[in-house]
């Protein structure tokens, strides 16, 4: 089972890997460093992290007197693992009852899919889950969610009036009354302007806090790993507005751009709780720096 998602992750990052065949040569020279720079940039590692990795690599080559390109690959994998390690963190459940998780993300990032995956993950860990449908402007979408909730034993709180902050508040009250373990508050992914979106999200956060002290306990942004530097811009913007506690990076099974995690680690580190490695309900995996680094470079 593990092999299958890991291989999907690897093949998703295949373009980088192909470029990194530069390690097949016989000498460590300037050309190798240049090719490496291109490969890292193509996989969306971004300039600051690329420069950092290459500087460290040159230092290691000197210090450890490396002579073989294959040794460079091992050294780079270790450097990348160290760079990514601070992003590795578990989502801890059971600290609050209910634990209130606010989910944010722009449309198309995979937020709805991820909420389903996360709900199942939580249930597998013996948690009861309630979902606040704060992104349901259409009646049809609300009904669909209700059906999904019934099927998966997840209470879905929605409201015709559609005030997302009110829906979130009701959800927290309802979870307390029903002694539910985890509340997931879904939020809008698109509003007329970005400032409207950010204002609405701030309001949802504030109103959740009125329903329960210290809540929301987690504010998780879902980003599409395929959108490269754009994903990094989203991390910055949402973190500045909301104060993110974690990220879930989706679609890493289908992208050569997985280097974006290195860019996040270097430029704006926020813990990565999970990565999305497919469209199915169980295609959600904890982020493990070493595993990821090896997949990126394999």
Residue 189 binds ligand GDP, judged by CB under 6 A:
yes
Write out the binding residues for ligand GDP, residues 33-72 only, by CB under 6 A: none
Rounded (to 5) percent helix, strand, coil in the chain: 55, 15, 30
Pick out residues in 248-267 that bind ligand GDP (CB under 6 A). 250-251, 253-254
Using CB under 6 A as the binding rule, whether residue 98 contacts ligand GDP is answered as no
| Residues facing residue 182 across a β-bridge | 99, 129
Is residue 187 close enough to count as binding ligand GDP by CB under 6 A?
A: no
Nearest CA-CA partner of 5 in 282, 280, 277: 277
Find the part of the chain contacting ligand GDP (CB under 6 A) among 28-36, 143-151, 200-208, 274-282. Answer: 274-282
* Separation between Cα atoms, residue 35 and residue 40, nearest integer Å: 9
DSSP structure string for 188-234: -S--SSHHHHHHHHHHHHHHHHHHSTT--SEEEEEEEGGGTHHHHHH
**Least Cβ distance, residue 71 to ligand GDP (angstroms):** 34
When binding is defined by CB under 6 A, the residue of 43, 81, 112, 234 that contacts ligand GDP is 112
| Residue number closest to ligand GDP, CB atom | 276
Q: Is 175 annotated as a binding residue?
A: no
Cα distances from 294 to residues 140, 194, 256, in angstroms, run 43, 36, 14
Contact 287, 88 (CB under 8 A): yes
Q: How far is CA 89 from the centre of its chain?
A: 12
Q: Which stretch binds ligand GDP (CB under 6 A): 38-46, 69-77, 108-116, 147-155?
A: 108-116
Decide whether 28 or 277 has the Cβ nearer to ligand GDP. 277
Per CB under 6 A, the segment of 13-21, 50-58, 107-115, 195-203 that binds ligand GDP is: 107-115
Annotated binding site for GTP: 105-112, 186-190, 250-253
């Amino acid at each position: 089972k593990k092999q299958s998602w890991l291989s999907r992750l690897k093949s998703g990052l295949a373009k980088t890997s192909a470029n990194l065949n530069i390690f097949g040569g016989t000498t460590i020279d300037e050309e190798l460093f240049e090719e490496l720079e291109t490969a890292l940039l193509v996989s969306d590692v971004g300039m600051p992290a690329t420069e950092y990795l290459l500087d460290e690599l040159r230092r290691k080559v000197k210090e450890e007197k490396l002579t073989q390109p294959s040794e460079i690959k091992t050294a780079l994998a270790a450097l990348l693992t160290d760079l990514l390690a601070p992003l590795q963190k578990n989502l801890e459940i059971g600290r609050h009852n209910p634990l209130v998780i606010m989910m944010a993300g722009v449309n198309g990032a995979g937020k709805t899919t991820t909420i389903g995956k996360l709900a199942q993950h939580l249930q597998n860990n013996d948690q009861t889950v309630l979902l606040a449908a704060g992104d349901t402007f259409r009646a049809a979408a609300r009904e669909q969610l209700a059906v999904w909730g019934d099927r998966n034993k997840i209470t879905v709180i929605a409201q015709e009036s559609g005030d997302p902050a009110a829906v979130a508040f009701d959800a927290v009250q309802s979870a307390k009354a029903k002694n539910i373990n985890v509340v997931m508050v879904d939020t809008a992914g698109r509003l007329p302007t970005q400032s409207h979106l950010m204002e609405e999200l701030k309001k949802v956060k504030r109103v959740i806090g009125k329903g329960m002290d210290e809540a929301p306990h987690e504010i998780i942004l879902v980003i599409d790993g395929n959108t490269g530097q754009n994903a990094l811009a989203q991390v910055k913007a949402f973190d500045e507005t909301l104060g993110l506690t974690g990220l879930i990076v989706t679609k890493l099974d289908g992208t050569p751009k997985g280097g974006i995690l290195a860019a996040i680690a270097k430029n704006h580190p926020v813990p990565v709780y999970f990565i999305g490695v497919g469209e199915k309900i169980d295609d959600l995996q904890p982020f493990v720096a070493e595993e990821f680094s090896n997949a990126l470079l394999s």
